[in-house]
Amino acid sequence: MSITELNISPVGRVEGDLDVKVYIDNGKVTRAHTQAAMFRGFEKIMEGKDPQSGLIVTPRICGICGGSHLYCASSALDTAWGTKLTPNALLLRAIGQASETLQSIPRWFYAIFATDLANKKYADKPLYKEVVKRWSAYVGETFQVGLTASGLPVQIYALFGGQWPHSSYMVPGGVMCAPTLKDITRAHAILTQFKNDWLEPVWLGCSIERYMEIKTWDDMLDWVDENESQKNSDLGLLIRAGIEFGLDKFGQGVGKFLATGTYLHKDMYNNPTIEGRNAALISSSGFFDGENYHEFDHMKISEHVKHSWYKDQEDGLHPWDEPLPTPTKSQTLHDSNFDEKYSWSKAPRYDGHAAEAGPLARVIMNANPANKDHQIQDPLFGDIMKKLGPSVFTRVLARVHEAPRIYKFIEQWLSEIDLDGEFYIKPVEKDGKGFGATEAARGALAHWIEIKDGVIKNYQVMAPTTWNVGPQDGDDNPGPIETALLGTSIEDPSDPVEVGIVARSFDSCLVCTVHAHDAESGVELSRFKL
């Protein structure tokens, strides 16, 4: 059988900037290339600007993760300027970060991922009718409930940040707000509504406390069968349908995971330094090579551009050593030569390895037996990785598993704010280098800044999507999504929903129209939407 090529453009459902080319032989993907189809260059915008420009510019990089960019921009200046942060400032930054991540969980699950399970590919499965009834786009019973509830957590963010998205309330030295008791009470009420409208009755079918007792994969399966409420919850249905539909059988990826960690403890990072960050994290950082955990060191991060549309840059440079973007001519997916440059994304590597960033990386770090008392200690995904391994199913389960824990964190941090305490300490500006990082909903996000003569000399942003959709590196090793697509069975090349499922399990966040072309002539065979 001849090899069939599919040019899929775009793949995501939010922004149409990710394209994928796959080669199919005997019904399976044998080669895959991801292409970031848009040049952004936010770093160039900030060249020569005031160091605090990042607080205004970088939240505009993304309309969904703007708060995460603000978190990184303020943290990078904290380390460059040697600021002091009060417990209140660290709590309000953590509440903002957690609220943004919490809103993204139901929004991503229903609007981006679950609707794929209503594809006719699964029509012969016993649970298909129930999946269609609940999760069909726009008309599904719980699709609407989940999407509506997803708007609640960002109301909490807006209470303290003044607005969401694109707030600038986090600044070097603290936060630009001083909440009242009314604000705290209102935030508690919004959080409770999120729990009562969706999290407990629709998603879990039980209390948050009962769900958080689950420590192993066997516990999880027992929890599903414990009663009808849990079995018929949306999470119960995801677990049953996910296994029945075979989501645990494909989309494995590179098997190496990176998390930069987030939520700095209110009493452990009052004098911010890059060296002191790992120990102060509540959601721990680290690199997992498939067998062992390694301490996170941002100096082991590098970027490759052999297959990226940039010039005047060596491969394997640390972000502080990289030049500002120097774009070169790009091509469309159909015209690209994949032995040469083919993406606007660079190829990040950690200690030389491609690494998956995202919720699965985070929950793997939570299972690290070396985590300290103040850090999350959750062995569940350590056990799941041993029994199931990485896959589309494991990746999706990791994302939704975070919701109850984040809810409890926000509830706790709201109760710890000292309304009579300080929220901001004015820093002294100076030249230097800074590094700030967090975990956006999609994974590891980091900013690097160099300040010289009072202005920005260099600014580099590395997003979780860069880690996941990055092209081949200098040694032609593929990136995480390129690897995850290998071996995927394509049942119907005229409707390759499996490619979308793999890419969207990483939350690749882009819109979807697929064009199928004859491998030899390049003639478009059909056009369809996933």
pLDDT on residue 171: 98
For the segment 430-446, the average pLDDT, to the nearest whole number, is 96
- Whether residue 509 is predicted with pLDDT greater than 70 in this model: the reply is no
What's the token pair of residue 465? 């999507």
- Whether residue 13 is predicted with pLDDT greater than 70 in this model: the reply is no
% of the chain beyond a pLDDT of 70: 95
Q: Within 13 Å and on the Cβ side, how many CA atoms surround 305?
A: 18
pLDDT on residue 16: 58
pLDDT on residue 519: 41
- Whether residue 524 is predicted with pLDDT greater than 60 in this model: the reply is no
Residue 489, C-beta contacts closer than 8 angstroms, at least 6 positions apart: 27, 28, 250, 498
pLDDT in tens, 54-90: 999 999 888 888 999 999 999 999 999 999 999 999 9
- Whether residue 515 is predicted with pLDDT greater than 60 in this model: the reply is no
**Model confidence band, residue 405 (pLDDT cutoffs 50, 70, 90):** very high
Higher pLDDT, 50 or 521: 50
For the segment 263-286, the average pLDDT, to the nearest whole number, is 98
What's the token pair of residue 60? 């505009």
- Tokens 């030389």 locate to 352
pLDDT on residue 288: 98
**Model confidence band, residue 14 (pLDDT cutoffs 50, 70, 90):** low
% of the chain beyond a pLDDT of 90: 84
Alpha-carbon distance of 460 to 43, in angstroms, equals 6
Phi and psi, residue 28, nearest 5°:
-125, 150
**Model confidence band, residue 12 (pLDDT cutoffs 50, 70, 90):** low
Higher pLDDT, 45 or 257: 257
Beta pairing class for 4-8 and 170-171: unpaired
- CB-based contact 344:303 (threshold 8 Å): no
- Check residue 495 and give left, alpha or beta (phi > 0: left; psi -120 to 50: alpha): beta
What's the token pair of residue 511? 């819109």
